[in-house]
Structure 1
Amino acid sequence: MSDVHIIDLSSPVDASFWEPDPVIHEILTPAEGARHMAEEMKTHFGIDFDPADLPGGELLSLDTLTLTSHTGTHVDAPSHYGSAGTYGVPRHIDQMPLDWFLRPGVVLDLTDAGTGVIGVERIEKELARIGYRPRPLDIVLLNTGASRYVGTPRYFTDFAGLDGPATDYLLDLGVRVIGTDAWSLDAPFGHMLRTFQETGDRSVLWPAHFAGRRREYCQVERLANLDALPEPFGFQVSCLPVKIAGAGAGWTRAVALVGQ
């Protein structure tokens, strides 16, 4: 492992960031933690102890957070996409095979996409440019440039997502985990809804997510630092999700392992 360089690909959970569902982060200091623990030990176990007996009157700090499982860098499970799949019952995040989330990675530079949708032609063009064809179970990462807006309202409105055919194109190659530095693997809500209102075409509504009702796969959303990857392929991605029972998503500390 001494020759492996670890690159952090995760955005933080930060209560100071602008979020549609704000993060609440409550902190007990070590002194407050000592008093809290004394009360808990008395209430639940009938044990008395005086926090003043502790060095400095301190025990341990304690962080309590209120947030969604889609805050920060996270992995979406098939059950997030709908209650039923044409392939069977969608699995929750704690049921997914772990070997999906430690695999060779390839990053696609799509920073010129702007706001809207990314189609098959743009994906094929980038794969041809880097001279690589994803193999089954490779993890494909989309660098759209959206991460520069993390923490601001623009992060939720100014990004590009895959259209339905582009999602199916990657899944046809055997890819089962697709990651993006954007808030969503789909285009922004406003863009999708305007297109639907103009065309009446329901296929433009959440096509990347709804592809997961037909084909079992996972998304990693809200990645960061994809520009730091030295090459477009030749690295491993680790994005093991937190094991939340019965959940449609789980947080991950996604990293790239370079030099293995």
Structure 2
Amino acid sequence: MRLIDLSSPIDADFWEAEPMEHKVMTPAEAAVYMTDGMREQFGVDLDPAVLPDGEFLNQDILTVSTHIGTHVDAPSHYGTRTGHGGPPRTIDEMPLDWFQRPAFVLDVRGAGTGAVGADVLAEELARIGYRPQPLDIALIHTGASAWVGTQRYFTEFTGLDGSAVDFLLDFGVKVIGTDAFSLDAPFSDIIRRYRETGDRSVLWPAHFAGREREYCQIERLGGLDALPRPSGFTLTCFPVKIARAGAGWTRAVATVED
């Protein structure tokens, strides 16, 4: 068995559309931080100098959105309405068996910037000779991960329209992943098409589909070109258990039998 990392890093040196901060605390700085905290919180006094080399343990403090890096979107991310009538589930409420499943990859790298529909996905499934099974994880290979860390990553990629999402969900798929910034088309493309047509259905249809049919997205995957074949592997992508959150980071890993 071979493990293939399909994740993008959380890196404060990357260009990001949202603010992010990564503070690295050295072991010496952490010694002062820890002993000050012990004194304030527990009334325990300890001189940092008594620690070996005057050091405690390195600390990393991150201020970051749950949508930076490879992450899973929960139904609550899409809005307050659901097709089943109850409140949309948050990331800590999602069933774990959705996130360790057989997976398949659909290559849309030739489609360009914008959104593709069900017809494109149907043609790609026919090309690779695969029929999705219930709870399979669908992965969309756009090639956008080549630009991760740059502004271009957020403006040039292929998303899905509503028909494409429904097409996959009709097979019983519950998790759809992409190596792009979003499962929808880039913001600029969406707004351009809306202004040209006045058609509200072009406004984030892949996300808003989750208001009618419960499913999760994995966004900002990486390394899909390292997969040796388009199907016949398992994806593990358990989301971090963040209480009441609309998304959680994941280390997505493919298990491939050679």
Shorter-chain TM-score range: over 0.9
Aligned partners of 1:34 and 1:65: how far apart in 2? 19
**Which residue of the partner structure matches residue 247 of structure 2?**
249
- SS of equivalent to 2:69: coil
Which of 86, 92, 95 is the matching residue for 2:93?
95
Structure 2 matches for 1:58-137, cutoff 5 A?
A: 58-88=55-85, 89-137=87-135
For the pair 1:154 / 2:152, whether they are aligned, the reply is: yes
TM-score w.r.t. the length of structure 2 is 0.98
The answer as to 2:237 corresponding to 1:239 is: yes
Structure 2 residue matching 1:12: 3-state secondary structure: coil
The structural deviation recorded for 1:109 is 1.3
Equivalent position SS for 1:245: coil
Q: How far is the alpha carbon of 1:22 from its aligned partner?
A: 2.4
Match of 1:173? 171
Give, in whole Å, the separation in 2 of the partners of 1:31 and 1:118.
Answer: 53
Rounded to whole Å, the distance in 2 between the matches of 1:38 and 1:166 is 55
8 Å CA contact retained: 1:118, 1:162: yes
Runs of 4+ that moved beyond 2 A: none
Which of 188, 193, 196 is 2:194 aligned to? 196
Deviation of 1:46 after TM superposition, in Å, equals 1.2
2:181 alignment partner, SS class = coil
Aligned residue in 2 for 1:50: 47
Mapped contact 1:157–1:190 kept (Cα < 8 A) = yes
1:52 is paired with a residue whose SS is helix
Q: Which amino acid aligns with 2:245?
A: A
Q: Which amino acid aligns with 2:40?
A: T
Listed as ranges, the gaps of 5+ residues in structure 2 are none
**Tell me, what secondary structure is at the counterpart of 1:233?**
coil
- Whether the 8 Å contact between 1:118 and 1:166 is mirrored in structure 2 is yes
Distance 2:111 2:93 in 1: 34
Quote the offset at 1:55 in angstroms.
1.3
Q: Aligned Cα RMSD in Å?
A: 0.9
Q: Which runs of 5+ in 1 are unaligned?
A: none
Contact 1:75 1:221 in 2 (8 A): yes
Shifted more, 83-92 versus 199-208: the winner is 83-92
- Match for residue 16 of structure 2? 19
Structure 2 Cα separation of the partners of residues 247 and 34 of structure 1: 32
What is the aligned-residue identity percentage?
A: 65
